[in-house]
Amino acid sequence: MVDKSADELSMTASNSPTAKIPLSEIRTEITSLDSKLLQLFARRRELSLSVAMNKEASAKPIRDQVREQELLETLIAKGAEIGLDAHYVTRLFHLIIEDSLAVQRDYLQSRSNPQESISNVRSIAVLGGKGSYSYLAAGKHFSATENTYLGFSTFDKVLRSVEQGNADYGVIPIENTTSGGITEVYDLLLDSKLSIIGEEKYPIKHCLVAQHSTELSRLTKIHAHPEASRQCNKNLPRLTSAEVSLVSSTAEALQLAAEDTTGTIGAVASEKSAEAFGLKVLLTDVANLKENTTRFLVVSRRPQKVSNQVSCKTSIAISTGQKPGSLAEVLLVFRDADIPLSKLESRPIAGKPWEQMFYVDLAGNADDPKVAQALEEIAKLCRFLKVLGCYPTEDIDATKVSPQALSRTKISSFNGSLSGQSENTVQPAPSESASENQQSESNSKARNYRLAGRPHKPEDTVIEFKGVKIGGNDFAVIAGPHQVIGQDQIDAAARFGSDTGISVLRASCFKPQTSPYGFQGLGIEGVELLQAAGQKYHLPVMTEVTETESVRSIAEKVDLLQISARNMQNYSLLKAVGEVNRPVILKRGLMASIDELLNAAEYILAQGNMQVILCERGIRTFETATQTTLDLSAIPLIKEKSHLPIMVDPTYAVKNSAALFPLAKAAKAVGAHGLLLEFSLEQENRSSQTLSPDTVSQTVLAAEEFTQLIHSLYQ
């Protein structure tokens, strides 16, 4: 399918009149188009500013997600008419919308804080000098103004220079997605008179850098900031035997590498900062985890006012005392006032052993009467309360496009095998009319699965990750190729999946074969390719785990783990996935009863991992016409017994894709929370039986069929 469309493209290119025009002329036209595009972007920005002025008068919030979604979906449809793919249009307009929101936010902020004139030169205190991550983050945050930077060797000195008026603002890191909160900064903020007035999330890409003449094999020492060193401590020793030496800032590490005359010294720093010091990158991306972002806080002597049209956050520090339940009482105040919390961090209090200071970030404006009243309320429950600041939030969630809209742009009319079927899906409520006998039987069984059972949790569990919801009223499609075979294959699959509007990309990397000499899957290398493809196309990813030892390292790389049918009662594996904080799909075993499935889920829950999704994939019966008999009657039954989401994998219960369509629709009709499907973009692999015994009787859809199926499901 991918190859075919590439062929089609080159066909149109060679047939089109532009192919005959000399290259120089084509380039001239491109250059002129690009400058027109720039002018259009600038004009669009001006209009965004007018929108902000207009909204200021009408007091409307700057974020209007319904309008954003409509805008994006209309653009995708229009783009499709002129040959632009949905993915391309979405990516372009996410950037444009994000910029527009930032322009509006900055305008409203400048109006709320007229004293902070943006035309002034600002001086900003940061840790380390040019090249440090604080410096780069500060540059991003204050990109609209001309700034001077003051570099310091400790966080304490950064804050003091702002307090003493030597700098206007300070930019300091507060937490990192890999290594967590920076405890020293929390303690310093508590004692400081400064207010938090902004935040900046900056992606960290640690590289190993050195002088141009230095070779990796000759390195003996690598200078690194302790935080950077912690974030690379597992991966770096695998790449080099050089010793890590801790220094007070990344800028100092860079300086030491730049002064090296022996050709043996390196530093951990970003690519940008290496350039600033005339150094080269020896290895890119040396951190333990690829997704690595640091959140920086911007502090100032004066608290800032946040316009009530701008989404904002308030950070507070509280000490609740030692009365049992006192923290719970505080949290209940926020719950009752409907104020979401995005962070709760605790730190010991100096001189008061076993007492804690809690740092809380809440969504809301401290000037909003609702928040102000809640703060007043909790002040009564606390020994100490300090508002650290109220500031515009950095999180601008990308506008979501519905799978319906995406699938509409792919096919205008559906001609599949569903004619005559009802278009309406029914979401049956759990039956309440079970007989008393059934009731008492199910109660005694329910005791076995204490945590998985409805009595434990009457409301549906909804499992959320990366914007995907599985459970409740949501319907999710998890799909992808059977296995990861290579980068091009999984990239194309991710792109296709994202265009089609699937929720999660699946592909296996560990595939035991009937013959020990067969292809066993790409292993951890495959997981990394899957992770990268998911990141590139903004799709969460799922893969199967087969061994207890690798559960943890795989869980770090994917968003969802799968336990296959053959491993449903592999209790050590169930326990291992129960110990990690990652959602798990548990497939029903080939010969397992519903009761056994729920008990297997209980194994995972009992270890502490409450994020279990069940999956019906057919069971063995006397019927041999298909590999399995899909037990759809299990869906309403399981929904009655358990609060856990239940999905369906219909692909083993059918011989061909025509039969898959009605079965998929039936799964949705009986109330499944989603489907697991397989597609293959490479025609020759669809019927291949060399990959894995699991594929033998499994129906793998071609791209076209898959798109049709998704379209029909969301009709």
Catalog residues that contact ligand PEP under the rule CB under 6 A: 508, 544, 564-565, 587, 617, 649, 694
Are β-strands 612-616 and 646-648 bridged in parallel, bridged antiparallel, or unpaired?
Answer: parallel
- Least distance in Å: CB of 577 to ligand PEP? 14
The least CB distance from residue 507 to ligand PEP, in Å, is 9
3-state secondary structure 330-385: HHHHHHHCCCCEEEEEEEEECCEEEEEEEEEEEECCCCCHHHHHHHHHHHHHCCEE
Quote the CA–CA distance of 389 and 366 in Å, as a whole number.
8
| Closer of 499 and 694 to ligand PEP (Cβ) | 694
Picking from 639, 707, 643, the residue whose alpha carbon sits closest to that of residue 677 is 707
Q: Please, are residues 403 and 539 in contact by the beta-carbon 8 Å criterion?
A: no
CB 289 within 8 Å of CB 152: no
Kindly state the tokens that stand for 155: 């966080």
Q: Which is nearer to ligand PEP, 319 or 692 (CB)?
A: 692
What is the nearest approach in angstroms of ligand PEP to the Cβ of residue 541? 14
CB of 530 to ligand PEP, least distance (A): 13
Compare residues 162 and 484 and give the one whose CB is closer to ligand PEP. Answer: 484
Least spacing, CB of residue 673 vs ligand PEP, in Å: 17
DSSP symbols for 110-135 = HHH-TTS-TTS-EEEEEESSTTSHHH
CB of 552 to ligand PEP, least distance (A): 20
Q: Give the pairing type, strands 476-480 and 674-680.
A: parallel
Q: Residue 90 or 564: which CB sits closer to ligand PEP? A: 564
What is the Cα–Cα distance from 26 to 597, expressed in whole angstroms? 63
User: Residue 90, by phi and psi: left (phi above 0), alpha (psi -120 to 50) or beta?
Assistant: alpha
Alpha-carbon distances, residue 397 vs 52, 68, 87, 523 (angstroms): 19, 11, 17, 33
Shortest distance, position 707 Cβ to ligand PEP, whole Å? 20
Helix (H) / strand (E) containing 464: strand 463-465
Compute the least distance from the CB of residue 492 to ligand PEP, in Å: 19
How many angstroms separate the Cα of 14 from the Cα of each of 27, 28, 118? Answer: 17, 20, 52
C-alpha distances in Å from residue 715, one per residue of 164, 423, 526, 659: 63, 7, 35, 18
Structure tokens at 204: 């960290």
> DSSP letters of 244-307?
EEE-S-HHHHHHHHHH-SSS-EEEEE-HHHHHHTT-EEEES--SSSS--EEEEEEEESSPPP--
**Ramachandran angles phi, psi of 227, nearest 5°:** -65, -45
The two structure tokens encoding residue 627: 């590999």
In our burial notation (b when 16+ CB lie closer than 10 A, e otherwise), range 582-612 reads: bbbbbbbbeebebeebbbbbbbbbeeebbbb
Query: Shortest distance, CB of residue 561 to ligand PEP, whole angstroms?
Result: 12
> How far apart are CB 565 and ligand PEP at their closest, in Å?
3
Return the number of the residue (405 or 560) whose C-beta is nearest ligand PEP.
Answer: 560
Structure tokens at 200: 């900046």
Residue closer to ligand PEP (CB basis): 270 or 508: 508
Cβ proximity to ligand PEP: between 557 and 587 the closer is 587
Residue pair 678/482 in contact by the 8 Å Cβ criterion: yes
Q: What is the C-alpha R_g of the chain?
A: 28
Residue nearest to ligand PEP (CB): 564
DSSP assignment string, 504-547: EEE-BS----SSTTS----THHHHHHHHHHHHHTT--EEEE---
| Residue environment code for 115-140, b if the CB has 16+ CB neighbours within 10 A, otherwise e | ebeeeeebbbbbbbbebbbbbbbbbe
Q: Residue 275: CB partners within 8 Å, gap ≥ 6? A: none
**Minimum gap (Å) between residue 564 Cβ and ligand PEP:** 3
Q: How far is the CB of 520 from ligand PEP (least distance, A)?
A: 14
Least spacing, CB of residue 506 vs ligand PEP, in Å: 8
Shortest CB 611 distance to ligand PEP, Å: 19
Cβ nearer to ligand PEP, comparing 378 with 601: 601
What span, in angstroms and rounded, lies between the C-alpha atoms of 675 and 650? 8
Please answer whether residues 174 and 297 qualify as being in contact, where contact means their C-beta atoms are separated by less than 8 angstroms. Answer: yes
- Rounded to a whole number of angstroms, the minimum distance from the CB of residue 617 to ligand PEP is 4
Q: How far is the CB of 516 from ligand PEP (least distance, A)?
A: 18
